[in-house]
Amino acid sequence: MNARKVTTASLLTALALAVYIVEAQIPPLLPLPGIKPGLSNAVTLFALFFAGPGVAAPVLVARILLGGLLTGQAFSMLYSAAGGFLSFAFGACVYRRFPRNQVFVVSMISAVLHNIGQLAAAAATSSAAVFAYLPALVASGLVTGLFTGLCAQYALLHIGKIGFFKKNALTASGSFISQRTEDKNH
Amino acid sequence: MWTRISAILLIFAILAPLCGCEAKSPKSQSVEFFTMDTVMELTAYGKNAGTALHAAQAEIIRLDRLLSISDPESEIYRANRDGFAELSGDTAALVRESLALYELTGGAFDITVYPLMDAWGFYSDEYRLPSDEERARLAGLVGSDRLALEGDALTLPEPGMGIDLGGIAKGYASDRAAETLADNGVASALISLGGNIVALGSKPDGMPWRVAIRDPLDENAFSGIVRVTDTAVVTSGGYERCFELDGKSYHHILDPATGLPARNGLISVTIICESGILADGLSTALYVMGEEKALAFWRAHLELFDAVLVTDDGRVLVTSGIAEAFSSERDFEVVR
Amino acid sequence: MKTRAWIALFAALLLVSCAAAWYVSHRRPADSLVGVYQDGRLVRCVDLALAAEPYDIALADGCVVRVEAGEIRMLSSDCPDQICVAQGALTGNLPIVCVPNRVVIRYLSEPDAGYDAVSGAVPGN
């Protein structure tokens, strides 16, 4: 990993953690387990499309580990990891195939997969009965995935306007900045 | 292409877990046969259930041949006829267990009641009322402390003595059947040997087995239902076998001390504990003891078993250890 | 695939899942038997119809379950989220779940006669 990648990853990790910790202070909106806005996933998604899975993976892992420790919820790291792994695996496989105006699609599917992964982990440790929550978590995954996906999408579409990134775009394979400098009208 | 695959993956991921919502009911296998003078029904779950069940059935039939009092080939028959016998492993174990139970229950459980049972006609189905003198005479032949068991050799010192293992044979057989099933890889099974129930594990879906207790006064009703896992449930009641003479009814659970059918206030005793043989023996013993002594006995041996007692004035008593797993449409009293 | 097609797909899925979620939370089994599971094992079986006086069940890990007036709920728990407590009484097919403590409370379905075997011989000779 070159210095540019490491720096990018560190910056994005710090950003993801900050968002995660702030969001963790907000009490749960609905009395259903696993329903969270998941705003830090916008950062991971941005990292994925901006700099490829090689950078996004460490950002995600660091966020899960440090976020769990810093918010005092070390136990739930298992569930975050299960969900995170499933959704990241999906994202890493397909991110090249989606144009930048469909980043929200990847995000919504990833969010649903994240919830399914968490649910599967809960079922493995508790009982299969928790799958009764599947429909609710699918619905919330779709909604939160849309929101965070749009955040990441707009960031990606307009990041090129910042002069620094126009000239010094990462050329890691799969970087959309280098391949598509023209915005598609959407 | 990847986008289409993503779409398909998404749909699959959402729908697939929904299929798991309905519990899959696994296959069960059963065998039903008649032995030890009663109907036996075994139900087991799992891949090896069929083989396991046949092995268990063979084991039960083998034990019946060993322990029967009417089969001339059985060891018990020979012991009763000759006053002496070399017992095989299972039979000797049963006799030893019976002697231990005799001590434990203060004589309420006694396998040497054979001559009394015979006098009443319970073995020949020709019922009669033994006279007071007859009962007094036979009392000299009753008492498990008179038996001599050295190693596996059993001696019945007085002529006319006899033993009947009927009070624990089914309990022992049910324990052995459960062991046989478990040895054959069965983790979930329900064994009913003429109403002696042994639950192996829990039901395939993880729920406990529900064993209903027959109402002594109404054969179509239940005193209650108890939820158990890996436990034996045995009920004894005079109603199971009785006859009427001159307007009075006499049942088959004799009090070894008096030689008369036990009439100490209980009409049904259900014992719930891990061991089928203990449950079987105690169900007879507590029936003979009557309500007060039975409850005192339970309090002295809380960790051993729990019980459901039905009294002759219609009360249902449930000991505290099993109260939470007991449910009934009738009122019942929890005993501590 | 066109963006519009994706949007249509997601809208349909959202609808289906919302409907399913509503259905799951409102379908209530006929009887009143509730199972309390911890670590996947059935720890207690509660018959809501028979519970006369309110009582509490204390579970191994700091959760307390209350049974009261035909309802069962998580009274208190040492988990950080407290979602299980906020859920209130058990309704429908949606279980009360405390993930950190691995506790699940749900209705047990008993579609059959109510018992699996009868203890006690049939009266007769």
List, in order, residues 6 or more apart from B42 with CB less than 8 Å away: B30, B31, B32, B53, B56, B57, B177, B181, B189, B190, B191, B192
Q: With 0-12 CB in 10 A as exposed, 13-18 as middle and 19+ as buried, what is C124?
A: exposed
Of C41, C116, C123, the CB nearest to B210: C116
Give the DSSP H/E element, type plus range, for residue C45: strand C41-47
**Could you report the per-residue pLDDT of B104-135, keeping only the tens digit for each?**
999 999 999 999 999 999 888 888 899 999 99
Q: What share of chain C is helix, strand, coil (3-state, %, to 5)?
A: 20, 30, 45
Has residue B184 got a pLDDT over 90? yes
Residues facing residue B214 across a β-bridge = B222
Residue C33 CA to chain centroid, in angstroms?
10
Four-point Cα dihedral B301, B302, B307, B312, nearest 10: 70
Cβ <8 Å between C21 and A136: yes
When pLDDT is averaged across residues B130-148 and rounded to a whole number, the result is: 90
Highest mean pLDDT among A151-160, A173-182, B195-204, B240-249: B195-204
Has residue A186 got a pLDDT over 70? no
Has residue B298 got a pLDDT over 60? yes
Mutation for C interface: A26, A105, A127, most C CBs within 10 A: A127
Has residue B23 got a pLDDT over 50? no
Output B116-122 pairs: Cβ under 8 A, ≥24 positions apart: B116/B142, B116/B254, B116/B256, B116/B259, B117/B164, B117/B252, B117/B254, B118/B162, B120/B250, B120/B252, B120/B254, B121/B243, B122/B241, B122/B252
**Could you report the per-residue pLDDT of B307-332, keeping only the tens digit for each?**
999 999 989 999 999 998 998 888 89
| Contact yes or no for A119/A137 (Cβ under 8 A) | yes
CA C123, CA A71: separation in Å to the nearest integer? 67
- Inside any domain, residue A143: yes
Return the percentage of chain A with pLDDT > 70, whole number: 84
CA dihedral over A182, B2, B6, B8, signed as positive or negative: positive
Has residue A181 got a pLDDT over 50? no
**The domain containing residue A19 runs over which residues?**
3-168
List, in order, residues 6 or more apart from A55 with CB less than 8 Å away: A5, A8, A9, A12, A47, A172
The pLDDT assigned to B212 comes to 92
Tally of CA atoms within 13 A in the half-sphere of A51 that contains its CB: 27
- Inside any domain, residue A20: yes
When pLDDT is averaged across residues A148-161 and rounded to a whole number, the result is: 85
The pLDDT assigned to B3 comes to 67
Q: The CATH number of the domain where B255 resides is what?
A: 3.10.520.10
Return the percentage of chain A with pLDDT > 90, whole number: 36
Q: Which pLDDT band holds residue A172 (cuts at 50, 70, 90)? A: very low
Which chains are adjacent to chain B, needing at least 3 Cβ pairs under 8 Å? A, C
| Contact yes or no for B69/B111 (Cβ under 8 A) | no
Cβ pairs A/C, distance under 8 A: 87
Give the SS3 label for residue C14: helix
CA B44, CA B187: separation in Å to the nearest integer? 8
Structure-block tokens of residue C52: 């006369």
Q: Is C119 on the interface with A (CB under 8 A)?
A: no
Q: Is A121 on the interface with B (CB under 8 A)?
A: no
Q: The CATH number of the domain where A153 resides is what?
A: 1.10.1760.20
For residue C17, give how far its alpha carbon lies from the nearest alpha carbon of chain B (Å). Answer: 9
Question: Lowest-confidence range among A68-72, B60-64, B101-105, B152-156?
Answer: A68-72
Chain B positions touching C9 (Cβ under 8 A) are 7, 10
CA dihedral over B287, B300, B94, B256, signed as positive or negative: negative
Phi and psi for B306 in degrees, rounded to 5? -130, 165
Tally of CA atoms within 13 A in the half-sphere of A47 that contains its CB: 29
Has residue B7 got a pLDDT over 80? no
- Inside any domain, residue B334: yes
Q: Which pLDDT band holds residue A164 (cuts at 50, 70, 90)? A: low
For residue C104, give how far its alpha carbon lies from the nearest alpha carbon of chain A (Å). Answer: 7
Q: Is C3 on the interface with B (CB under 8 A)?
A: no
When pLDDT is averaged across residues C8-26 and rounded to a whole number, the result is: 87
When pLDDT is averaged across residues C103-113 and rounded to a whole number, the result is: 71
Q: Which pLDDT band holds residue C93 (cuts at 50, 70, 90)? A: confident
Cβ <8 Å between B6 and A109: yes
- Inside any domain, residue B176: no
For residue C69, give how far its alpha carbon lies from the nearest alpha carbon of chain A (Å). Answer: 22
- Inside any domain, residue B192: no
Highest mean pLDDT among B138-142, B241-245, C121-125: B138-142
Q: If DSSP states are collapsed to H, E and C, what string results for chain B?
A: CHHHHHHHHHHHHHHHHHHCCCCCCCCEEEEEEEECCEEEEEEEECCCHHHHHHHHHHHHHHHHHHHCCCCCCCHHHHHHHHCEEECCHHHHHHHHHHHHHHHHCCCCCCHHHHHHHHHHCCCCCCCCCCCHHHHHHHHCCCCHHHCEEECCEEECCCCCCCCCCHHHHHHHHHHHHHHHHHHCCCCEEEEEECCEEEEECCCCCCCCEEEEEEECCEEEEEEEEEEECCEEEEEECHHHCEEEECCEEEECCECCCCCCECCCCEEEEEEEECCHHHHHHHHHHHHHHCHHHHHHHHHHCCCCCEEEEEECCCCEEEEHHHHCCEECCCCCEEEC
Map tokens 């379905």 to a residue: C109
**The domain containing residue B291 runs over which residues?**
208-336
Mutation for A interface: C4, C7, C9, C14, most A CBs within 10 A: C14
| Contact yes or no for A44/A63 (Cβ under 8 A) | yes
- Start-to-end CA span in chain B (Å): 70
**Could you report the per-residue pLDDT of A65-87, keeping only the tens digit for each?**
998 888 877 777 888 888 999 99
Has residue B175 got a pLDDT over 70? yes
Which chains are adjacent to chain C, needing at least 3 Cβ pairs under 8 Å? A, B
Domain coordinates in residue numbering, chain C: 3-107
Task: Please state the domain count of chain A.
Answer: 1
Task: Name the residue of chain A whose CA is nearest to C106's CA.
Answer: A129
Cβ <8 Å between C39 and A139: no
The pLDDT assigned to A171 comes to 40
Has residue A145 got a pLDDT over 50? yes
The pLDDT assigned to C67 comes to 85
When pLDDT is averaged across residues A91-105 and rounded to a whole number, the result is: 87
For residue B286, give how far its alpha carbon lies from the nearest alpha carbon of chain C (Å). Answer: 15
CA A88, CA A153: separation in Å to the nearest integer? 17
| Contact yes or no for B229/B209 (Cβ under 8 A) | yes
Task: Please state the domain count of chain B.
Answer: 1
The pLDDT assigned to A174 comes to 37
**Could you report the per-residue pLDDT of B235-273, keeping only the tens digit for each?**
999 888 888 888 888 999 999 999 899 989 999 999 999
Residues facing residue B38 across a β-bridge = B35
Give the DSSP H/E element, type plus range, for residue C119: strand C117-119
- Options 2.40.30.10, 2.60.320.10, 2.40.10.10, 3.40.50.300; which CATH number does C3-107 get? 2.60.320.10
Q: Which pLDDT band holds residue C109 (cuts at 50, 70, 90)? A: low
Has residue B16 got a pLDDT over 60? no
- Inside any domain, residue B44: no
- Inside any domain, residue B220: yes
Q: CA geometry: angle at C67 spanning C66 and C69, to 5°?
A: 130
**Could you report the per-residue pLDDT of A24-81, keeping only the tens digit for each?**
888 777 767 667 788 999 999 999 988 888 899 999 999 999 988 888 777 778 888 8
What is the pTM for the complete model shown?
0.56
Q: Which pLDDT band holds residue A1 (cuts at 50, 70, 90)? A: low
List, in order, residues 6 or more apart from B247 with CB less than 8 Å away: none
Average pLDDT, chain A: 81
When pLDDT is averaged across residues A84-103 and rounded to a whole number, the result is: 88
For residue A112, give how far its alpha carbon lies from the nearest alpha carbon of chain B (Å). Answer: 8
